[in-house]
Amino acid sequence: MRHRPSRPISFIIFAALSFVVLAAVPNFAVRAAAAERSLSDVEIKKLNNLMAQQGKDVAISPLITDIVGLTQNEQTITCRAFGAVDPNTNDIRHIYLLPAGKGYLIDYFHADIVEVYWADKDLALIAALSGVRGQKPGPASFQQAQFGFSNELAWWAKFADTH
């Protein structure tokens, strides 16, 4: 009977880890792709048209714009905004087209929580804040902001597709 040489333990560990990583990659890629869904050019155009035609000129609270870093020293920004109520949850959402090509603000009011996201003109997240309504909000963690912003973009995409 011939004796087969045994494989080194490091090879076995490497093979096992490779299998685990490869098995997890497809699920990770799907989650990452779903989390990074953005608005299409058509959806952005629809939302910009809604803001132009049905929106209102509003002054954004300097408390909000100072926290996200859009302004300093309680400077007020006036921009065009459009609001919608989610018919399933009664949550309130707004999208603001900022002046001078500074991008968008998107806010989301649910339960007693407010979330605000500042994105550039290409809808890349720049900064975010969250807090309890009626209290001073604070900056959101990067992970929390990315997750919430992704959800907001998906909600606005669906809204644009159905309106």
CB atoms within 10 A of CB 43: 17
Q: 155 and 86 in one domain?
A: yes
Answer left, alpha or beta for residue 101, where phi above 0 means left and psi between -120 and 50 means alpha: left
Q: 111 and 31 in one domain?
A: no
Number of domains in the chain: 2
Least reliable range by pLDDT among 5-14, 51-60, 119-128, 130-139 = 5-14
Asked whether residue 1 is assigned to any structural domain, the reply reads no
Please tell me what DSSP assigns to residue 163.
Answer: -
Q: 99 and 76 in one domain?
A: yes
Asked whether residue 20 is assigned to any structural domain, the reply reads yes
Q: 21 and 68 in one domain?
A: no
Q: 65 and 79 in one domain?
A: yes
Q: 139 and 61 in one domain?
A: yes
Domain with 19, as residue range(s), is 6-35
Establish how many alpha carbons lie within 13 A of residue 108's alpha carbon, considering only the half-sphere containing its beta carbon.
19
* Each residue's pLDDT tens digit, 28-37: 222 233 334 4
* Each residue's pLDDT tens digit, 111-159: 899 999 999 999 999 999 999 988 999 999 988 999 999 999 999 999 9
pTM: 0.75
